[in-house]
Structure 1
Amino acid sequence: MTKQIEFYFDFGSPYSYLAQTQLKKLAADTQATIVYMPINVLDLMKATGNTPTTIECKAKRKYAKSDLQRWVKKYGVGWEPNQNFRHIDLNFLLRGAIAAIKLGVGAEFISKVFTGLYAQVLDLGNVEILKDFLKKNELPADRILELMAQEEISDELKARNKAAGEAGLFGTPTFRIGEEIYFGNDRLPFVEAAAKAQA
Protein backbone atom coordinates (compact mmCIF):
# COMPACT_ATOMS: atom_id res chain seq x y z
CA MET A 1 0.00 0.00 0.00
CA THR A 2 1.33 3.42 -0.99
CA LYS A 3 2.16 5.72 1.91
CA GLN A 4 0.14 8.93 1.85
CA ILE A 5 0.54 12.35 3.42
CA GLU A 6 -2.56 14.53 3.25
CA PHE A 7 -1.75 18.23 2.88
CA TYR A 8 -4.57 20.58 3.89
CA PHE A 9 -4.05 24.10 2.64
CA ASP A 10 -5.64 27.41 1.70
CA PHE A 11 -4.13 29.76 -0.90
CA GLY A 12 -4.62 32.64 1.53
CA SER A 13 -2.37 31.00 4.10
CA PRO A 14 1.27 32.14 3.74
CA TYR A 15 2.48 29.25 5.87
CA SER A 16 0.69 26.90 3.47
CA TYR A 17 2.72 28.48 0.67
CA LEU A 18 5.93 27.88 2.59
CA ALA A 19 5.04 24.30 3.46
CA GLN A 20 4.13 23.37 -0.10
CA THR A 21 7.54 24.50 -1.35
CA GLN A 22 8.97 21.56 0.60
CA LEU A 23 6.57 18.87 -0.59
CA LYS A 24 8.62 17.46 -3.46
CA LYS A 25 11.54 16.90 -1.12
CA LEU A 26 9.24 15.48 1.55
CA ALA A 27 7.73 13.01 -0.92
CA ALA A 28 11.17 11.95 -2.19
CA ASP A 29 12.63 11.53 1.30
CA THR A 30 9.68 9.51 2.62
CA GLN A 31 8.65 7.65 -0.55
CA ALA A 32 5.11 8.87 0.17
CA THR A 33 2.41 10.30 -2.07
CA ILE A 34 1.20 13.82 -1.27
CA VAL A 35 -2.59 14.08 -1.33
CA TYR A 36 -3.63 17.70 -1.82
CA MET A 37 -6.62 18.78 0.29
CA PRO A 38 -7.84 22.32 -0.52
CA ILE A 39 -10.06 23.87 2.16
CA ASN A 40 -11.23 27.35 3.15
CA VAL A 41 -9.32 27.99 6.36
CA LEU A 42 -11.49 30.88 7.60
CA ASP A 43 -14.64 28.79 7.19
CA LEU A 44 -12.93 25.91 8.99
CA MET A 45 -11.82 28.16 11.83
CA LYS A 46 -15.30 29.60 12.21
CA ALA A 47 -16.83 26.13 12.29
CA THR A 48 -14.38 24.87 14.90
CA GLY A 49 -14.34 27.93 17.16
CA ASN A 50 -10.78 28.90 16.26
CA THR A 51 -9.74 32.55 16.02
CA PRO A 52 -7.52 34.08 13.27
CA THR A 53 -5.22 35.76 15.75
CA THR A 54 -2.75 37.04 13.16
CA ILE A 55 -5.64 39.12 11.82
CA GLU A 56 -7.09 40.17 15.16
CA CYS A 57 -3.91 40.57 17.24
CA LYS A 58 -1.65 43.44 16.13
CA ALA A 59 1.38 42.11 18.03
CA LYS A 60 1.07 38.64 16.53
CA ARG A 61 0.56 40.08 13.06
CA LYS A 62 3.80 42.05 13.43
CA TYR A 63 5.62 38.97 14.70
CA ALA A 64 4.29 36.83 11.84
CA LYS A 65 5.76 39.21 9.26
CA SER A 66 9.24 38.70 10.72
CA ASP A 67 8.73 34.99 11.22
CA LEU A 68 7.61 34.48 7.63
CA GLN A 69 10.77 36.18 6.39
CA ARG A 70 12.88 33.78 8.46
CA TRP A 71 11.23 30.84 6.73
CA VAL A 72 11.51 32.46 3.31
CA LYS A 73 15.25 32.84 3.88
CA LYS A 74 15.60 29.29 5.25
CA TYR A 75 13.80 27.74 2.28
CA GLY A 76 15.30 30.10 -0.30
CA VAL A 77 11.96 30.80 -1.95
CA GLY A 78 10.43 33.86 -3.59
CA TRP A 79 8.27 36.21 -1.56
CA GLU A 80 6.66 39.57 -2.24
CA PRO A 81 3.65 41.22 -0.52
CA ASN A 82 0.60 40.77 -2.74
CA GLN A 83 -1.97 43.51 -2.25
CA ASN A 84 -4.37 41.64 -4.54
CA PHE A 85 -5.32 39.42 -1.62
CA ARG A 86 -7.61 42.25 -0.53
CA HIS A 87 -10.06 41.37 -3.28
CA ILE A 88 -9.20 37.84 -4.45
CA ASP A 89 -12.00 35.35 -3.89
CA LEU A 90 -10.02 32.46 -2.43
CA ASN A 91 -12.93 30.07 -2.92
CA PHE A 92 -12.51 30.74 -6.64
CA LEU A 93 -8.93 29.46 -6.53
CA LEU A 94 -9.80 26.60 -4.20
CA ARG A 95 -12.45 25.45 -6.67
CA GLY A 96 -9.75 25.64 -9.32
CA ALA A 97 -7.55 23.37 -7.23
CA ILE A 98 -10.34 20.81 -6.86
CA ALA A 99 -11.01 20.94 -10.60
CA ALA A 100 -7.30 20.51 -11.36
CA ILE A 101 -7.08 17.55 -9.00
CA LYS A 102 -9.99 15.89 -10.81
CA LEU A 103 -8.24 16.51 -14.13
CA GLY A 104 -5.01 14.94 -12.87
CA VAL A 105 -2.97 18.16 -12.71
CA GLY A 106 -3.62 19.14 -9.10
CA ALA A 107 -0.01 19.24 -7.89
CA GLU A 108 1.09 21.40 -10.81
CA PHE A 109 -1.85 23.80 -10.50
CA ILE A 110 -1.42 24.21 -6.74
CA SER A 111 2.33 24.77 -6.91
CA LYS A 112 2.08 27.25 -9.78
CA VAL A 113 -0.79 29.21 -8.20
CA PHE A 114 1.04 29.47 -4.87
CA THR A 115 4.11 30.79 -6.71
CA GLY A 116 2.00 33.19 -8.74
CA LEU A 117 0.42 34.60 -5.60
CA TYR A 118 3.41 34.81 -3.28
CA ALA A 119 6.47 35.13 -5.53
CA GLN A 120 5.03 36.85 -8.61
CA VAL A 121 2.30 38.94 -6.87
CA LEU A 122 -0.29 38.20 -9.55
CA ASP A 123 -4.01 38.87 -9.32
CA LEU A 124 -5.04 35.28 -9.92
CA GLY A 125 -8.56 35.98 -8.72
CA ASN A 126 -9.14 37.61 -12.11
CA VAL A 127 -10.50 35.02 -14.53
CA GLU A 128 -8.61 36.29 -17.58
CA ILE A 129 -5.33 36.65 -15.69
CA LEU A 130 -5.71 33.14 -14.25
CA LYS A 131 -6.56 31.72 -17.68
CA ASP A 132 -3.49 33.32 -19.27
CA PHE A 133 -1.32 32.24 -16.33
CA LEU A 134 -2.44 28.61 -16.62
CA LYS A 135 -1.84 28.55 -20.36
CA LYS A 136 1.66 29.98 -19.93
CA ASN A 137 2.35 27.19 -17.44
CA GLU A 138 1.05 24.57 -19.89
CA LEU A 139 -1.99 23.66 -17.82
CA PRO A 140 -5.44 22.95 -19.36
CA ALA A 141 -6.88 26.38 -18.60
CA ASP A 142 -10.18 26.04 -20.43
CA ARG A 143 -10.97 22.64 -18.93
CA ILE A 144 -10.08 23.80 -15.40
CA LEU A 145 -12.14 26.98 -15.67
CA GLU A 146 -15.11 25.13 -17.10
CA LEU A 147 -15.08 22.48 -14.39
CA MET A 148 -14.48 24.85 -11.46
CA ALA A 149 -17.58 26.84 -12.43
CA GLN A 150 -19.83 23.84 -11.88
CA GLU A 151 -21.96 23.69 -8.75
CA GLU A 152 -20.67 20.25 -7.82
CA ILE A 153 -17.20 21.73 -7.26
CA SER A 154 -18.59 24.33 -4.85
CA ASP A 155 -20.44 21.56 -3.03
CA GLU A 156 -17.27 19.51 -2.82
CA LEU A 157 -15.35 22.41 -1.27
CA LYS A 158 -18.03 22.71 1.42
CA ALA A 159 -17.89 18.97 1.99
CA ARG A 160 -14.09 19.09 2.30
CA ASN A 161 -14.37 21.84 4.91
CA LYS A 162 -16.90 19.81 6.89
CA ALA A 163 -14.80 16.65 6.72
CA ALA A 164 -11.69 18.54 7.83
CA GLY A 165 -13.48 19.85 10.90
CA GLU A 166 -14.80 16.40 11.73
CA ALA A 167 -11.26 15.02 11.44
CA GLY A 168 -10.05 17.44 14.13
CA LEU A 169 -8.44 20.08 11.95
CA PHE A 170 -8.63 23.75 12.93
CA GLY A 171 -6.22 25.59 10.63
CA THR A 172 -3.75 25.40 7.76
CA PRO A 173 -1.32 24.12 6.81
CA THR A 174 -2.11 20.77 8.35
CA PHE A 175 -0.64 17.41 7.47
CA ARG A 176 -2.48 14.17 8.18
CA ILE A 177 -0.99 10.69 8.22
CA GLY A 178 -3.58 8.09 9.08
CA GLU A 179 -5.47 9.56 12.03
CA GLU A 180 -2.59 11.76 13.24
CA ILE A 181 -2.56 15.48 12.40
CA TYR A 182 0.38 17.87 12.38
CA PHE A 183 -0.42 21.58 12.29
CA GLY A 184 1.99 24.15 10.93
CA ASN A 185 4.86 24.51 8.49
CA ASP A 186 7.27 24.04 11.40
CA ARG A 187 5.95 20.50 12.02
CA LEU A 188 7.46 19.16 8.81
CA PRO A 189 10.23 17.23 10.67
CA PHE A 190 7.54 15.37 12.64
CA VAL A 191 5.61 14.71 9.43
CA GLU A 192 8.74 13.29 7.78
CA ALA A 193 9.49 11.05 10.75
CA ALA A 194 5.94 9.77 10.92
CA ALA A 195 5.83 9.05 7.20
CA LYS A 196 9.12 7.15 7.33
CA ALA A 197 7.82 5.08 10.23
CA GLN A 198 4.60 4.25 8.39
CA ALA A 199 4.39 0.62 7.29
Structure 2
Amino acid sequence: MSGKTVTFYFSVLSPWVYFGGPRFHEIARDTNATVVYRPIDLLRVFRETGGTPLAAMSPARQAFRARERERWSAWLNMPVNAKPAHHPVDESLAAQLLMAAEDAHGGAVVWPLAQRMLAGVWVHDLDISKEATLAQIAREQGLDADALLALAATPAMRARFNANTTEAMAAGVFGVPSFVVDGDLHFGQDRLDFVERALRAD
Protein backbone atom coordinates (compact mmCIF):
# COMPACT_ATOMS: atom_id res chain seq x y z
CA MET A 1 0.00 0.00 0.00
CA SER A 2 1.34 3.38 -1.00
CA GLY A 3 0.67 5.83 1.83
CA LYS A 4 0.22 9.56 2.00
CA THR A 5 2.69 12.21 3.07
CA VAL A 6 2.28 14.05 6.37
CA THR A 7 4.30 17.09 7.34
CA PHE A 8 5.08 17.03 11.05
CA TYR A 9 5.74 20.44 12.62
CA PHE A 10 7.17 20.06 16.10
CA SER A 11 9.32 21.54 18.85
CA VAL A 12 11.76 19.71 21.09
CA LEU A 13 10.52 21.80 24.02
CA SER A 14 6.88 20.70 23.99
CA PRO A 15 5.45 18.15 26.43
CA TRP A 16 2.62 17.55 23.97
CA VAL A 17 5.12 16.52 21.30
CA TYR A 18 6.78 14.26 23.87
CA PHE A 19 3.42 12.63 24.65
CA GLY A 20 2.04 12.52 21.11
CA GLY A 21 5.09 11.71 19.03
CA PRO A 22 5.24 7.98 19.73
CA ARG A 23 1.55 7.48 18.92
CA PHE A 24 1.83 9.59 15.78
CA HIS A 25 4.69 7.45 14.55
CA GLU A 26 2.68 4.28 15.19
CA ILE A 27 -0.09 5.76 13.05
CA ALA A 28 2.37 6.73 10.32
CA ARG A 29 3.80 3.21 10.32
CA ASP A 30 0.37 1.56 10.23
CA THR A 31 -0.83 3.75 7.36
CA ASN A 32 2.47 3.52 5.45
CA ALA A 33 2.72 7.31 5.57
CA THR A 34 5.84 9.25 4.66
CA VAL A 35 6.74 11.75 7.39
CA VAL A 36 8.32 15.07 6.46
CA TYR A 37 10.02 16.46 9.57
CA ARG A 38 9.92 20.18 10.27
CA PRO A 39 11.38 21.20 13.65
CA ILE A 40 10.33 24.79 14.32
CA ASP A 41 10.99 27.68 16.71
CA LEU A 42 7.98 27.45 18.99
CA LEU A 43 8.61 30.67 20.89
CA ARG A 44 8.83 32.58 17.61
CA VAL A 45 5.54 31.01 16.52
CA PHE A 46 3.93 32.16 19.76
CA ARG A 47 5.27 35.69 19.30
CA GLU A 48 4.10 35.99 15.71
CA THR A 49 0.72 34.26 15.96
CA GLY A 50 -0.58 35.72 19.21
CA GLY A 51 0.19 32.72 21.39
CA THR A 52 1.18 32.92 25.05
CA PRO A 53 4.28 31.16 26.38
CA LEU A 54 3.62 29.05 29.46
CA ALA A 55 5.42 31.39 31.85
CA ALA A 56 3.22 34.31 30.75
CA MET A 57 -0.08 32.46 31.17
CA SER A 58 -2.45 33.19 34.02
CA PRO A 59 -2.04 31.02 37.15
CA ALA A 60 -5.32 29.27 36.35
CA ARG A 61 -4.15 28.29 32.86
CA GLN A 62 -0.76 27.19 34.14
CA ALA A 63 -2.40 25.04 36.81
CA PHE A 64 -4.74 23.41 34.30
CA ARG A 65 -1.93 22.65 31.87
CA ALA A 66 0.08 21.12 34.71
CA ARG A 67 -2.88 18.91 35.61
CA GLU A 68 -3.29 17.91 31.96
CA ARG A 69 0.36 16.86 31.84
CA GLU A 70 -0.25 14.70 34.91
CA ARG A 71 -3.31 13.10 33.32
CA TRP A 72 -1.57 12.31 30.04
CA SER A 73 1.49 11.06 31.88
CA ALA A 74 -0.64 8.58 33.82
CA TRP A 75 -2.77 7.61 30.81
CA LEU A 76 0.20 6.94 28.53
CA ASN A 77 2.49 5.64 31.28
CA MET A 78 5.10 8.20 30.27
CA PRO A 79 6.91 9.95 33.14
CA VAL A 80 7.05 13.75 33.19
CA ASN A 81 8.51 16.29 35.60
CA ALA A 82 6.03 18.81 36.98
CA LYS A 83 8.65 21.59 36.82
CA PRO A 84 11.52 20.75 34.48
CA ALA A 85 14.74 22.49 35.43
CA HIS A 86 15.54 23.73 31.92
CA HIS A 87 12.36 24.90 30.23
CA PRO A 88 12.09 26.93 28.17
CA VAL A 89 15.55 27.28 26.63
CA ASP A 90 16.87 28.13 23.18
CA GLU A 91 16.02 25.08 21.07
CA SER A 92 17.70 26.23 17.86
CA LEU A 93 20.87 24.14 18.05
CA ALA A 94 18.91 21.04 19.07
CA ALA A 95 16.54 21.47 16.12
CA GLN A 96 19.45 22.09 13.77
CA LEU A 97 21.13 18.92 15.05
CA LEU A 98 18.01 16.99 14.03
CA MET A 99 18.24 18.41 10.52
CA ALA A 100 21.96 17.66 10.32
CA ALA A 101 21.33 14.07 11.44
CA GLU A 102 18.60 13.69 8.82
CA ASP A 103 20.91 15.00 6.10
CA ALA A 104 23.61 12.55 7.12
CA HIS A 105 21.56 9.46 7.93
CA GLY A 106 18.03 9.87 6.58
CA GLY A 107 14.67 10.43 8.18
CA ALA A 108 14.69 7.27 10.31
CA VAL A 109 17.10 8.84 12.80
CA VAL A 110 15.06 12.00 13.41
CA TRP A 111 12.34 10.84 15.75
CA PRO A 112 14.44 8.66 18.09
CA LEU A 113 16.86 11.57 18.49
CA ALA A 114 14.05 14.09 18.96
CA GLN A 115 12.24 11.94 21.52
CA ARG A 116 15.48 11.59 23.47
CA MET A 117 15.79 15.39 23.52
CA LEU A 118 12.19 15.74 24.67
CA ALA A 119 12.70 13.20 27.44
CA GLY A 120 15.86 15.08 28.34
CA VAL A 121 13.79 18.21 28.98
CA TRP A 122 10.69 16.66 30.55
CA VAL A 123 12.09 13.66 32.41
CA HIS A 124 15.85 13.97 32.97
CA ASP A 125 16.25 17.74 33.57
CA LEU A 126 18.79 18.20 30.79
CA ASP A 127 19.53 21.56 29.20
CA ILE A 128 19.20 20.92 25.48
CA SER A 129 20.48 24.38 24.63
CA LYS A 130 23.97 23.21 25.65
CA GLU A 131 26.30 21.69 23.07
CA ALA A 132 27.68 19.20 25.59
CA THR A 133 24.19 17.92 26.38
CA LEU A 134 23.35 17.50 22.71
CA ALA A 135 26.65 15.72 22.09
CA GLN A 136 25.84 13.26 24.87
CA ILE A 137 22.36 12.60 23.44
CA ALA A 138 23.72 12.14 19.90
CA ARG A 139 26.37 9.69 21.08
CA GLU A 140 23.74 7.68 22.95
CA GLN A 141 22.00 7.29 19.59
CA GLY A 142 25.20 6.01 17.99
CA LEU A 143 25.84 9.18 16.01
CA ASP A 144 29.03 11.13 15.33
CA ALA A 145 28.22 14.02 17.64
CA ASP A 146 31.18 16.21 16.75
CA ALA A 147 30.59 16.07 13.01
CA LEU A 148 26.85 16.61 13.29
CA LEU A 149 27.14 19.50 15.74
CA ALA A 150 29.65 21.20 13.47
CA LEU A 151 27.12 21.01 10.64
CA ALA A 152 24.24 21.99 12.92
CA ALA A 153 25.98 25.21 13.98
CA THR A 154 26.40 26.58 10.44
CA PRO A 155 24.53 29.69 9.25
CA ALA A 156 22.97 27.60 6.48
CA MET A 157 21.37 25.27 9.02
CA ARG A 158 20.11 28.20 11.07
CA ALA A 159 18.55 29.62 7.90
CA ARG A 160 16.77 26.30 7.32
CA PHE A 161 15.42 26.31 10.87
CA ASN A 162 14.07 29.83 10.34
CA ALA A 163 12.61 28.80 6.98
CA ASN A 164 10.87 25.83 8.62
CA THR A 165 9.25 28.19 11.10
CA THR A 166 8.14 30.62 8.41
CA GLU A 167 6.74 27.71 6.37
CA ALA A 168 4.85 26.43 9.40
CA MET A 169 3.13 29.75 10.02
CA ALA A 170 2.26 30.04 6.33
CA ALA A 171 0.55 26.65 6.68
CA GLY A 172 -1.50 27.97 9.61
CA VAL A 173 0.54 26.46 12.43
CA PHE A 174 0.19 28.24 15.78
CA GLY A 175 1.32 25.47 18.13
CA VAL A 176 2.70 21.95 18.25
CA PRO A 177 2.43 19.19 17.43
CA SER A 178 0.86 20.08 14.11
CA PHE A 179 0.31 17.80 11.14
CA VAL A 180 -0.56 18.68 7.56
CA VAL A 181 -2.16 16.00 5.36
CA ASP A 182 -3.44 16.87 1.87
CA GLY A 183 -3.09 20.56 2.73
CA ASP A 184 -5.29 20.19 5.81
CA LEU A 185 -3.90 21.23 9.21
CA HIS A 186 -4.45 19.15 12.35
CA PHE A 187 -3.25 20.52 15.69
CA GLY A 188 -2.62 18.76 18.96
CA GLN A 189 -1.62 15.35 20.26
CA ASP A 190 -5.22 14.86 21.39
CA ARG A 191 -6.42 15.01 17.75
CA LEU A 192 -4.37 12.16 16.37
CA ASP A 193 -7.56 10.27 15.53
CA PHE A 194 -8.24 12.90 12.86
CA VAL A 195 -4.69 12.59 11.54
CA GLU A 196 -5.16 8.83 11.20
CA ARG A 197 -8.49 9.28 9.41
CA ALA A 198 -6.88 11.72 7.00
CA LEU A 199 -4.02 9.32 6.29
CA ARG A 200 -6.45 6.44 5.66
CA ALA A 201 -8.85 8.43 3.47
CA ASP A 202 -8.97 7.69 -0.26
The 3 A distance-change label for structure 1 pair 55 and 173 is farther
Q: How many residues are aligned here?
A: 197
Aligned partners of 1:40 and 1:119: how far apart in 2? Answer: 21
Match of 1:131 in 2: 135
1:142 to 142, 146, 165: 146
Match of 2:87 in 1: 85
Partner letter of residue 137 of structure 1?
Answer: Q
Matches within 5 A, 1:3-42: 3-42=4-43
Q: Is the 8 A contact 2:69 2:80 kept in 1?
A: no
Match of 1:174 in 2: 178
Q: Is the 8 A contact 2:13 2:118 kept in 1?
A: no
Matches within 5 A, 1:65-84: 65-80=66-81, 81-84=83-86
Q: Is the 8 A contact 1:99 1:147 kept in 2?
A: yes
> Any idea what the Cα deviations from partners look like across 1:53-73, whole Å, max 9, x if unmatched?
673221111000001111111
Aligned partners of 2:129 and 2:52: how far apart in 1? Answer: 25
Aligned partners of 2:174 and 2:6: how far apart in 1? Answer: 17
**Aligned-residue identity in percent:** 29
> Any idea what the Cα deviations from partners look like across 1:154-190, whole Å, max 9, x if unmatched?
1111111111111111111111102101111111111
Match of 2:161 in 1: 157
Q: Is the 8 A contact 1:39 1:94 kept in 2?
A: yes
Structure 1 residue runs without a partner (length 5+) = none
Q: Is the 8 A contact 1:82 1:121 kept in 2?
A: yes
Aligned partners of 1:55 and 1:172: how far apart in 2? Answer: 18
Q: Is the 8 A contact 1:109 1:139 kept in 2?
A: no
> Any idea what the Cα deviations from partners look like across 1:63-93, whole Å, max 9, x if unmatched?
000011111111111212421225x321121
CA root-mean-square deviation: 1.8
Secondary structure in 2 matching 1:85: coil
**Alpha-carbon deviation of 1:127?**
1.3
Q: Is the 8 A contact 1:7 1:35 kept in 2?
A: yes
Partner letter of residue 146 of structure 2?
Answer: D
Structure 2 residue runs without a partner (length 5+) = none
Query: Does 2:195 match 1:191?
Result: yes
Q: Is the 8 A contact 1:72 1:78 kept in 2?
A: yes
The 3 A distance-change label for structure 1 pair 78 and 96 is same
Aligned partners of 1:162 and 1:77: how far apart in 2? Answer: 31
TM-score of the pair, normalised by structure 1? 0.90
Q: Is the 8 A contact 2:9 2:176 kept in 1?
A: yes
